[in-house]
Each structure stands twice: as C-alpha cells, then as structure tokens.
C-alpha cells in the first residue's frame, strides 16, 4: 500500500479553468483528466489524503460518482470550498479539518491551509497543505500538495520531500 497526498482538485468548479489557468478547454475535460491522472498512479489498495477543495458546484450525486471512480481509500481534510455535498458524501474513509499522522517515520501535520508554525515544527514535523494553488513561497518543511503545484496528480511523500532538495518542480 502506498500513501498519496493531493488537494484543490476543484471538481465541477469552472473558476479553476480561468483563475488557475488549468490547460483544459472545458470543465468536463478538466474533471476527466484529473480522474485519469489520479487513477494512473493510485491503486485500489492505496490511501489518498485529499487536503481540501475536492469539489465545488456539482450536485451531491456527481460528487459521489467521482468518489466512486477514484482509486484508493480516500480521506478528506476539509477545505474552504467543500460544502455539505462533498463533506457528507459516502466514499470518504475519514473527514476532518486537521490531522497529524506519521508516514515513513516522518511526522506530518495536514491541513487545507499553510501554517506559519505547527505542532512538532522544532522536532522535524512537516506541514502538508493546499489552498495556495502553488503561489505561496514555501518555508522549510512545508509543502503545497495541491494539483497546481504537483502537475495535476497526487504525490508520494518521498517525491514531495525530494523536490525541495533538487530545487525543482515535481515531475
């Protein structure tokens, strides 16, 4: 089992095509591409932490349909654009505003929002976040896992950590 992180997919949200300049001619193409990118790397037995803004705009039935076709066990950290149709959708293994977990012996603090400081920062804990759509200058041990910062797909922790050491964008 692998663990992946992502955020800010904004399924069903036409604003992302304009505001974030995502490279799709329409919302249907956008949503289909993000689903295909997710399923190309996430296996059914993997786990995905989605750090908020999963969907905005589609009816609750469409949110359920999207969740049903996405591979993996899905856990939601609620974002500012996640309404009841997303939060209450069946298909989430867990839903919350914040989580602290360990992956590969690394303490992680997960939230939709980037923190200035966080629990365990002085002991090596890493903050993974979304919300900023790749526009926030990172501070040490803080990483934007949103699709705009991660080439439109979920990523492993090792890939996230290696990106800063190489000083390059993730591939």
Q: Is the pLDDT of residue 171 over 50?
A: no
* Domains in the chain: boundaries: 3-166
pLDDT attached to residue 138: 82
What gap in Å lies between CA 99 and CA 116, rounded to an integer? 16
pLDDT > 50? residue 129: yes
Please, what sign has the CA dihedral across residues 74, 77, 83, 87?
positive
For the chain, what is the mean pLDDT? 93
pLDDT on residue 159: 94
Query: What is the spatial distance between Cα 90 and Cα 92, in angstroms, rounded to a whole number?
Result: 6
Of residues 28, 34, 37, 40, the one with CA closest to residue 54: 34
Instruction: Check residue 165 and give its pLDDT.
Output: 66
Alpha helices in the chain (DSSP H): 15-19, 27-41, 60-69, 84-87, 157-166
Q: How confident is the model at residue 163 (pLDDT cuts 50, 70, 90)?
A: confident
Is residue 2 classed exposed, middle or buried when 0-12, 13-18 and 19+ CB atoms within 10 A define those classes? middle
Q: pTM to 2 decimals? A: 0.94
Model pLDDT for residues 90-120, shown as the tens digit of each residue: 999 999 999 999 999 999 999 999 999 999 9
Of the options 3.10.620.30, 3.20.20.140, 3.60.21.10, 3.60.15.10, the CATH number for the domain spanning 3-166 = 3.60.21.10
**pLDDT at residue 60 in the model:** 93
User: Residues 10-21: pLDDT tens digits?
Assistant: 999 999 898 888
Q: Is 50 in contact with 93 (CB distance < 8 Å)?
A: no
Residue 81 zone, left/alpha/beta (φ > 0; ψ -120 to 50; rest): alpha
pLDDT band at residue 64 under the 50/70/90 scheme: very high
8 A C-beta contact, residue 142 and residue 129: yes
Selection from 10, 19, 13 nearest residue 50 by Cα: 10
């Amino acid at each position: 089992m692998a663990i992946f992180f992502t955020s800010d997919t904004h399924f069903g949200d036409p604003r992302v095509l304009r505001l974030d300049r995502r490279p799709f001619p329409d919302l249907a193409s956008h949503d289909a591409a993000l689903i295909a990118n997710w399923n190309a790397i996430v296996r059914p037995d993997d786990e995905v932490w989605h750090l908020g803004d999963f969907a905005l705009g589609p009816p609750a039935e469409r949110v359920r349909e999207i969740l049903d076709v996405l591979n993996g066990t899905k856990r939601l950290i609620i974002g500012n654009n996640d309404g009841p149709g997303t939060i209450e959708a069946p298909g989430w293994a867990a839903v919350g505003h914040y989580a602290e977990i360990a992956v590969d012996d690394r303490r992680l603090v997960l939230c939709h929002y980037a923190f200035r400081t966080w629990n365990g920062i002085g002991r090596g804990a890493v903050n993974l976040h979304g919300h900023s759509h790749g526009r926030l200058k990172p501070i040490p041990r803080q990483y934007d896992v949103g699709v705009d910062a991660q080439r439109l797909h979920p990523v492993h922790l090792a890939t996230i950590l290696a990106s800063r050491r190489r000083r390059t964008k993730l591939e």
